[in-house]
Structure 1
Amino acid sequence: MKKLRIGIIGVGGIAQGRHIPAFLQLRDVCEITALCDVNVDRAKETAEKHQIPHVFENYQDLFSEVDAVCICTPNKFHAEISIAAFEAGVHVLCEKPMALSAEECEAMIAASKKADKVLAIAYHYRFMKESQAAKKAMQEVGTPLVVRIQALRRRKVPGWGVFTNKDLQGGGSLIDYGCHLLDLALWLMGNPKQTMVSGTTYNTLSKMPNQVNQWGEFDHETFDVDDHVTAYAQFENGASMLFETSWAANIKDDKEHLSISGVDGGLSVFPFELYTTKNGMLLNSQAAWIPSEENPGLPQAKNFIQACLGLEELVVKPEEALQVSQIIDRIYESSESFREGISQ
């Protein structure tokens, strides 16, 4: 069987830490044939390290050497590069979030359909073993009623890369971190359509001088993205969602929590637990062992490759990633409208 030729566009931390190692482990079905980065020296070093034959500074020049690309650039370029890839007849795995706005996401989907090529979004939390277990257990939860999300870090603003650059990233803790658990929750719920979204964003802490931050230094004077976000959403099936995410919360410890209370039972994802009633009792169930890869990047890469080869359906469908971006847009819009109302 012919191997899928893959190009990596952007060879920063997420490419080096997740995508390149995953594709290299799947040499029986794919090969990384090209790298592209505006930092050509970094791309050349990476290519030499992994014996990758081609290096480019311009992503357009890469398309002739690949069947598929993995886009690991700042968010601002996700839509532009994805659409160009489709016009060149190339499949796309794009890092999350899908794009800067729902409008850009829709353009990406239209381009993928016109080209008849795969568009996958790297919401890797769906591939975690706890998430896979929770998806299987949703039948015991029944119709979801209330979803609770907390994706909270104590003073961990990313002090590297362009995470705090609004022009390049579109936002902060919500679009970078909270989006993962938002996507996971929607998937577990079956992606019901949202009917109401309200939210508030903050960046007060990170704009204060003399920062105490565990993840490196950043300029508090130029910090212009959200470091803490709260939101409430309602859905057409009657379910509601309580959502909170932060890079810089003044809390005791980091907290990653996703729980769903349904008509028949409930569950928590991290750690995976199931809450049911049986024989007149309240039961809490924990998994002694969950069969799955420890590294979610590997099944994510496998699923993308198999989808490109026409052998599997995507686990993360682009229309579902679009819904995440629609909710993110509405949270930001709601917060802006609230602040404009206060200032009037």
Structure 2
Amino acid sequence: MPSRILGQKKTQQDYDSSIGEYTTGWTGSGASKSDKKVVGLTLFDLRRLGKVDRLGMVGVNGGKFPAIRQHLAENIGGVYKDMDLSFEEFPKQGKTDPDAYKEAIDRLSPGDAVIVFTPDSTHYAISLYAIERGIHVLVTKPATQLLSHHNALIAAAKKHNVVCFVEHHKRFDPVYSDAKARVASLGEFNFFSAWMSQPKSQLETFRAWAGKDSDISYYLSSHHIDISCWILDGKAVPTRVVASAATGIATSEPYNCVPETEDTITLLVDWQSINSPKHKGTAVYTASWTAPLKSGVHSSQHWYYMGEKAHRGYDVTVDDVGKSWSNPFYMKYSPSESGHFDGQRGYGYVSIEKFIDAARSVNAMKSKPADYDATGLPTIANTVLTTAILNAGRISLDEKRPVGIKQQSGSWVLE
């Protein structure tokens, strides 16, 4: 069965996101208050269920592991029954090593797997290093920042015959998948709009890389851009991107992000119908990390497709935090009646489990990696247009011009 190695970033910064909020639920100042703490918890549970074996965790600063182990013991071991929390840490003995992921991957064997939850600018190097050694890869969104890098990962995964998925968990949200099915009967595509935001506190969490290594469009709009690409697969293709941005909050007190940091980014994307030359559609994708603090929800999100809306969750009001909106579909943290972890139906869990199942199936020679490209699963090949749109948006902002997208010699390229 596959071993697991959780990813790590290559630059030395105070915030080590590979062993932070999404992977361990630990932020450096304590337990995360968001619902985005799924990777480690999911893998510990998958080991309990017999789907994974050895676990490794990779960071830049090994000095953080004692606090992480204590956090996991209190918040996972102290909550759920029968959870084995053991893992091998990299780098060792409290050392600092931005290339610790290489040592970790070099200890694996072909058919093992890595999960890469790191700053966007590091995804390509880590994923490629693993793929070239015959290791299956699940990389968080966006897969890469450059379309050329995404194309290179497609080619490498094919060459080395490994599974490479992108962790676009929204595809497993039952509300989104139901909406996709309903859209199929709505005829030609005409208009799509999407909004996604997180509170300004995220600028403190991600100050180490916000505006330096990535932007809010890559980080958040990648969700809904992928959803629209998924919905429109076989129906329409993007042809042109124009980007606009709002600024001023992230670069001011108390956040003081680098001058290049945008607050809100909007991409306007033209889509051309595959089946009807006269039908063209328009999509607008907006993402912001300057939403009000204590706005009731960690990620505010909404999308609209030709009259179809996705709205989910419910609100809860308590004395100390006021009103908040919960998303019961992403992850369930309350234990089962027996005291075991009970979140296996959450789409945050499912998106990781689907990758594990694919890797196990390929290792058992019950399937081939190419088989998954013919499904709606977010393989590296099936998500290339998401990267094309994001990369085009970044170029449009930097160069203040529209950017075209086209297919050339079997690959997608930017103009």
- Structure 1 and Structure 2 fold alike (TM over 0.5): yes
Aligned residue among 13, 16, 32 for 2:21: 13
Aligned residues: 308
Matched, 1:105 2:188: no
Aligned to 1:170: 214
- Quick check: 1:331 aligned with 2:393? yes
Deviation at 1:60, TM superposition (A): 1.8
1:136 Cα deviation from its structure 2 partner: 2.4
Counterpart amino acid of 1:296? Answer: Y
Question: 2-side partners of 1:97 and 1:24: how far apart?
Answer: 25
In the TM superposition, what are the counterparts of 1:27-176 in structure 2 within 5 Å?
A: 27=47, 28-43=50-65, 46=68, 49=73, 50-57=84-91, 58-63=100-105, 64-65=107-108, 67-153=112-198, 155-162=200-207, 164-167=209-212, 169-171=213-215, 173-176=216-219
Amino acid at match of 1:270: H
- Residues 97 and 163 (structure 1), Cα distance of their counterparts in 2 relative to 1, 3 Å cut: farther
Aligned residue among 237, 259, 266 for 1:193: 237
On the 8 A contact 2:267/2:286 being kept in 1, the answer is yes
CA distance in 1 between counterparts of 2:293 and 2:284 reads: 18
State how far apart, in whole Å, the 1-side matches of 2:294 and 2:282 are: 27
> Structure 1's 88 and 331: CA in aligned 2 closer, same or farther, altered over 3 A?
same
Three-state SS of the structure 2 residue aligned to 1:208 is coil
Structure with the largest fraction of helix? 1
How far 1:83 sits from its partner (Å)? 0.8
Corresponding position of 1:319: 381
Which amino acid counterpart does residue 295 of structure 1 have in structure 2? G
Q: 1:22 — aligned with what?
A: 42
Alpha carbons of 1:84 and 1:143: their partners in 2 closer, same or farther (altered >3 Å)? same
Shift of 1:233: 1.0
Q: How does 1:252-267 map to 2 (within 5 A)?
A: 255-261=300-306, 266-267=307-308
| Contact 1:228/1:249 (<8 A) preserved | no
Per the alignment, do residues 252 and 60 of structure 1 end up closer, same or farther by CA in structure 2, a change over 3 Å counting?
closer
Question: What's the CA shift string for 1:154-179, capped at 9, x where partnerless?
Answer: 64543114464334x322x1111111
Match of residue 409 from structure 2: none
State the secondary structure of the residue aligned to 2:250: helix
- Select 1:219's aligned residue among 256, 263, 285: 256
TM-score (ref. length: structure 1): 0.79
The answer as to whether partners of 1:36 and 1:55 remain within 8 angstroms in 2 is: yes
TM-score normalised by L of structure 2: 0.67
Distance across 2 between alignment mates of 1:47 and 1:108: 33
| Runs of 4+ with >3 A deviation | 43-51, 152-157, 161-167, 249-255
What is the CA deviation profile of residues 293-312 of structure 1, one whole-angstrom value per residue up to 9, with x for unaligned ones? 65222111121012112357
Give the superposition deviation at 1:201. Answer: 2.0
**The residue matched to 1:148 in structure 2 has which SS?**
strand
Answer yes or no: is 1:208 the counterpart of 2:252.
Answer: yes
CA apart distance, 1:320: 3.4
Alignment RMSD (CA, Å)? 3.0
1:233 aligns with one of 269, 272, 275: 269
Change (3 A) 1:251 1:131: same
- The 10-residue stretch of structure 1 (9-18 or 49-58) with the greater mean CA deviation from structure 2: 49-58
Distance in 1 of aligned mates of 2:119 and 2:294: 31
Q: 8 Å contact 1:79–1:107 — kept in the other structure?
A: no
- Helix, strand or coil for the counterpart of 1:234? strand
Q: Deviations over 1:185-205 (max 9, x none)?
A: 221222632111111123223
Letter in 2 for 1:25: D
What is the distance in 1 between the residues matched to 2:202 and 2:67? 28
Match in the other structure for 1:214: none
Runs of at least 5 residues in structure 1 that lack an aligned partner in the other structure? 212-217, 273-288, 340-344
Query: How far 1:94 moved relative to its partner?
Result: 0.7
Alignment match, 1:276? none
Structure 2 counterpart of 1:298, which letter? Answer: Y
2:286 and 2:136 map into 1 onto residues whose CA distance is 34
Would the aligned equivalents of 1:153 and 1:246 in 2 still touch at CA under 8 Å? yes
The residue type equivalent to 2:248 in the other structure is T
Q: Give the direction of change, closer, same or farther, for the CA distance of 1:42–1:321 in structure 2 (3 Å limit).
A: farther
Cα 1:54/1:47, change in 2 over 3 Å:
farther
Cα offset for 1:135?
Answer: 2.2
Q: 2: CA distance between counterparts of 1:319 and 1:33?
A: 27
2:224 equivalent to 1:181: yes
Q: Deviations over 1:6-55 (max 9, x none)?
A: 11123221111111111222222113421211121334654684533422
Unmatched 5+ residue regions in structure 2? 8-17, 25-36, 74-83, 92-99, 274-279, 314-327, 330-342, 402-415
Paired position in structure 2 for 1:302: 353
Q: Is the 8 A contact 1:33 1:65 kept in 2?
A: no
Output the CA distance in 2 between the equivalents of 1:156 and 1:56: 29
- One-letter amino acid of the structure 1 residue matched with residue 358 of structure 2: A
